A = this chain, B = another copy of it.
Amino acid sequence: MAKEITPRSEDYSQWYLDIVHKARMADNSPVRGCMVIKPHGFAIWEKMRDALDAMFKETGHVNAYFPLFIPKSFLSKEAAHIEGFAKECAVVTHYRLKNDPNGGGVIVDPEAKLEEELIVRPTSETIIWNTYRDWIQSYRDLPILINQWANVVRWEMRTRPFLRTTEFLWQEGHTAHASAEEAIVETRQMLDVYAQFAEEFMAMPVIKGVKTANERFAGAVDTYCIEALMQDGKALQAGTSHFLGQNFAKAFDVMFLNKENQQEHVWATSWGASTRLVGGLIMTHSDDDGLVLPPKLAPIQVVIVPIPKPAAELTEVATKIAAELRAKGISVKIDNDEQNRPGFKFAEYEMIGVPVRLGLGARDLANNQVEVARRDTKEKANVSLDGIAEHVANLLDDMQRNLFERAKAYRDSHITPVDTWEEFENVLETKGGFVSAHWDGTSETELAIKERSKATIRCIPIDNPLEDGACILTGNPSTQRVLFARAY
């Protein structure tokens, strides 16, 4: 089974698609650019969702739900917003089908044309700010701290499972505040929540930064982001948090009476993370044998395989071990399938990324031990059955840490400072990763660099040190280095 995966060294893109399909994460669908998220992929997304949701709630947010459809006129109320989203949206124009009078099956009923077309939400700022207008009168109604878990649609030309799909699942936070300061604190807080989630749960190190004007969300004053590095040296934007200023409040006429008894436009943030994170998870840790999952996000953390096949005596001990593990909050599967041999099962569990495998044979039992195999390093060890649950719990913690450290060592060794254009191109071509370089601060230069090198400015890191230098492309003066990379 594992042999069917294309090695990363041969074709990284194909390796990624192989993992997605062989690890039963997702399937293509007959609808252009939409995927079917299969149970194993969805179980991982559920764990991510639950962890993020708990973090949102701890920081005072509540969930709500706004309509899937947005009247066309709403989208155009914020000038930058419509520029950003008009090109990629699904438009509902009719609300009924009927039998073709000419016998050609079912057709769209031309009588059932909508007066105003509806857009399938690509993001919900417009419909939400139109609603907030009714909810906000005075500073006492603020802040509003709402999140929504939803599906959104962006008509992408090139799609890849999880990383870029026409429909995707995400959460979008939309908050309303009485001051710019408070909204900025919120924007930064949620950036920190995303970074903490990425590092603690996904074991994926990220760089927190702010986007340049070119890369900003359509309608934002500032877009903050977390940027991760994939194994092939390409960057992945893993979450964004936007300070929207008063742009949407002005577009939708949302005013509040402030403490000084004056009418003022409301301040806004929005922030989102999506099923794209599942793609990032795959590309951070997995190997040529299949998926590698950090224990905190693994739907099954431990599998127990009786060797060479299920037997009453083995099942009894397996059940006892499973109970001890479950008592520690660890999820366990006992594989009592009689059809397949242990070797086949081992390959299968490696493929789907079960962190720990316990192989239990008659001889092991006689020796009061079990074979413990860890997925990340492929190491195996014989461990005494006394205190096995404790051992496995520690091992899972260790793996979670190890995966993060491994990814961080890779990432840290792939942030390369360069000072000339030649070096810049050379590093991008041969080594990849983030390139830390001076840039003259203009959009023109940024776009020229992108055109020549396919690298974009991923972010200006938070707390970036100031440092005089010369732009790698134009030689114009620069006050700080920024992080470039080719990106997903």
Contact: B36 with A62, CB < 8 Å?
no
The 0/1 profile, CB within 8 Å of B marked 1, for residues 24-42 of chain A is 0001011100111111001
Which B residues are CB-close (under 8 A) to A134? 27
Q: Judge whether A329 is part of the interface by a CB distance below 8 angstroms.
A: no
Min C-beta distance of A384 to chain B, whole Å: 33
Which B residues are CB-close (under 8 A) to A93? 91-94, 108
Which B residues are CB-close (under 8 A) to A127? 29-31
Interface residues in A353-398 by Cβ distance below 8 A to B read: none
Which B residues are CB-close (under 8 A) to A30? 71, 74, 127, 130
Contact: A92 with B75, CB < 8 Å?
no
Min C-beta distance of A73 to chain B, whole Å: 7
Which B residues are CB-close (under 8 A) to A35? 67
Please, how many residues of chain A have a CB less than 8 angstroms from a CB on the other chain? Answer: 63
Contact: B27 with A131, CB < 8 Å?
yes
Instruction: Kindly identify which residue among B27, B63, B95 contacts A91, using a CB–CB cutoff of 8 Å.
Output: B95
Contact: A90 with B97, CB < 8 Å?
no
Nearest CB to that of A98 among chain B residues? Answer: B86
A67 to B92, CA, bound (A): 16
**Copies of this chain in the oligomer:** 2
Q: Judge whether A218 is part of the interface by a CB distance below 8 angstroms.
A: no
Q: Judge whether A46 is part of the interface by a CB distance below 8 angstroms.
A: yes
A71-B30, A117-B108, A130-B30 are contacts. A64–B91 as well, Cβ < 8 Å? Answer: no
Q: Judge whether A167 is part of the interface by a CB distance below 8 angstroms.
A: yes
Min C-beta distance of A376 to chain B, whole Å: 25
Q: Judge whether A118 is part of the interface by a CB distance below 8 angstroms.
A: yes
Contact: A34 with B105, CB < 8 Å?
no
Interface residues in A97-149 by Cβ distance below 8 A to B read: 97-99, 105-106, 108, 117-120, 127, 130-131, 134, 140, 146
The 0/1 profile, CB within 8 Å of B marked 1, for residues 58-95 of chain A is 00001111111111111110000010001111111111
Min C-beta distance of A103 to chain B, whole Å: 12
Nearest CB to that of A35 among chain B residues? Answer: B67
Min C-beta distance of A67 to chain B, whole Å: 4
Q: Judge whether A277 is part of the interface by a CB distance below 8 angstroms.
A: no
A105-B76, A106-B72 are contacts. A88–B94 as well, Cβ < 8 Å? Answer: no
Which B residues are CB-close (under 8 A) to A72? 97, 106, 108
Instruction: Kindly identify which residue among B39, B65, B118, B155 contacts A42, using a CB–CB cutoff of 8 Å.
Output: B65
A71-B30, A94-B93, A95-B155 are contacts. A86–B66 as well, Cβ < 8 Å? Answer: no
Q: Judge whether A238 is part of the interface by a CB distance below 8 angstroms.
A: no
Which B residues are CB-close (under 8 A) to A65? 36-37, 42, 169
A36 to B127, CA, bound (A): 10
Which B residues are CB-close (under 8 A) to A118? 31, 90
Q: Judge whether A96 is part of the interface by a CB distance below 8 angstroms.
A: yes
Which B residues are CB-close (under 8 A) to A68? 34, 120, 151, 153, 167
Nearest CB to that of A148 among chain B residues? Answer: B42
Which B residues are CB-close (under 8 A) to A92? 90-93, 120
Contact: B31 with A70, CB < 8 Å?
yes
The 0/1 profile, CB within 8 Å of B marked 1, for residues 301-335 of chain A is 00000000000000000000000000000000000
A63 to B47, CA, bound (A): 12
Q: Judge whether A213 is part of the interface by a CB distance below 8 angstroms.
A: no
Which B residues are CB-close (under 8 A) to A67? 29, 31, 34-36, 167
Interface residues in A138-177 by Cβ distance below 8 A to B read: 140, 146, 150-151, 153, 155, 167, 169
Q: Judge whether A221 is part of the interface by a CB distance below 8 angstroms.
A: no
- Between A43, A91, A118, the greatest number of chain B beta carbons within 10 A of the residue's beta carbon is seen for A91
18 A-B contacts, Cβ less than 8 Å apart?
A29-B67, A29-B127, A30-B74, A31-B118, A34-B69, A36-B64, A36-B65, A37-B66, A42-B62, A42-B65, A43-B63, A72-B106, A86-B97, A87-B97, A91-B95, A92-B120, A93-B108, A151-B151
